[in-house]
């Protein structure tokens, strides 16, 4: 990849931020890191952070959310959209995101599916078991924890059987 | 688009199924419809339906989920992945999904964001207000309904301000 870089707004507390940081590092994609603090700011509907300010919405991310990039004035959030945009504008190794329509579709399938499954259920588990008790000072409701743990295990199991041997992880077309 | 067709598994109860049915109709994309009944089958973690059988997972969708297509043996679920796959393999009017990297990225941004926002919050509202009371015969908890209604309104408001005039809906790059 060329040395052309972009601004990268992230917080290590944010799972998709960590995914992009890891990806940029292993795929050797240069980005200018700008940390944003999700633990600061107001709490609304279980969401809090510096990114909920009017300034952030106007200057960084329209939705507003994290992670986000600014590529010479072009602002884009959502980790999946960012990876696809960088593939289309910079190009990087096919290994990370394949150009073959069927292989790409199977990666897209997982990247769509994960939002309301792995991401949602593991986030709910973390919030129920750890974040809410830390924020409120009250013990977690163990019945609720057991329920969100069971749904998280269910989604992890779904990935396991979807990608079972002899399938080649996500993109085997021989399944 | 050519007359090459594919199998399309759907249920009108499923919002992404309805989105694809509408899209196939307005964009004149021929598909062989195969209805699946979400209201039948077992209930697990708030999910129920014919698609939870071992047969469906093996023969239709690996995750397993709805909607899904089978394109001459290639099985793919998730409405976003399906639209992108059809664009890559058949091609259709740029109006529906633009090829320009920035315009496409802004559509991808919304299509990623919506999963845990519009889709999730409106789904929770429907489940809390209508589906659970119908399935259990018990009245909805109005406090819970008020909370999920508020979060749904919050996500609808986020779309409104993200696409405010003079922005041209999702894909204006002048924002």
Residue A36 CA to residue A39 CA, distance in Å, equals 9
Query: Across the interface, do B112 and A116 touch by the CB < 8 Å criterion?
Result: no
- The confidence band for A53, taking pLDDT boundaries of 50, 70 and 90, is confident
- The confidence band for B172, taking pLDDT boundaries of 50, 70 and 90, is low
CA distance B106 to chain A (A): 7
CA distance A70 to chain B (A): 12
- The confidence band for B171, taking pLDDT boundaries of 50, 70 and 90, is low
Characterize B108-131 residue by residue with b for buried, 16 or more Cβ atoms within 10 angstroms of its Cβ, and e for exposed: bbbbbbbbbbbbbbbbbbeebbee
Residue of B nearest to A85 (CA): B105
| Nearest CB partner across the interface for A80, out of B104, B112, B119 | B112
In tens, the pLDDT along A61-107 reads: 888 889 999 999 999 999 999 999 999 998 888 889 999 999 999 99
- The confidence band for B91, taking pLDDT boundaries of 50, 70 and 90, is confident
In tens, the pLDDT along A145-162 reads: 999 999 999 888 888 877
Query: Across the interface, do A162 and B81 touch by the CB < 8 Å criterion?
Result: no
A2 has pLDDT over 60 = no
Residues in A closer than 8 angstroms to B101, CB to CB, are 85, 88-89
In tens, the pLDDT along B62-82 reads: 888 899 999 999 999 999 999
For a pLDDT cut of 70, what percent of chain A falls above it? 86
Residue A27 CA, chain-centre distance (Å), reads: 17
| Nearest CB partner across the interface for A84, out of B62, B105, B158 | B105
CA distances from B110 to A125, B39, B80 (A): 25, 29, 11
The count of CB pairs under 8 A between chains A and B is 113
Fold classification of A6-96 (topology level): Glutaredoxin (3.40.30)
Q: What's the pTM?
A: 0.86
- ipTM beyond 0.90? no
Query: Across the interface, do A65 and B119 touch by the CB < 8 Å criterion?
Result: no
């Amino acid at each position: 990849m060329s040395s052309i870089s972009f601004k990268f707004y992230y917080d290590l507390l944010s799972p998709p931020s960590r995914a992009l940081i890891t990806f940029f590092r292993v795929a050797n994609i240069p980005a200018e890191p700008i940390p944003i603090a999700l633990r600061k700011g107001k709490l609304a509907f279980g969401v809090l952070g510096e990114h909920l300010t009017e300034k952030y919405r106007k200057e960084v991310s329209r939705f507003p959310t994290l992670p986000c990039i600014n590529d010479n004035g072009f602002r884009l959030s959502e980790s999946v959209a960012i990876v696809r945009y960088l593939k289309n504008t910079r190009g990087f190794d096919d290994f990370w995101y394949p150009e073959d329509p069927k292989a790409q579709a199977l990666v897209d399938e997982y990247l769509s599916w994960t939002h309301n499954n792995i991401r949602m259920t593991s986030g709910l588990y973390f919030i129920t078991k750890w974040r809410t008790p830390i924020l409120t000072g009250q013990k977690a409701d163990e019945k609720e924890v057991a329920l969100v743990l069971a749904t998280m295990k269910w989604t992890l199991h779904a990935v396991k059987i979807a990608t079972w041997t002899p399938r080649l992880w996500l993109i085997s077309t021989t399944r």
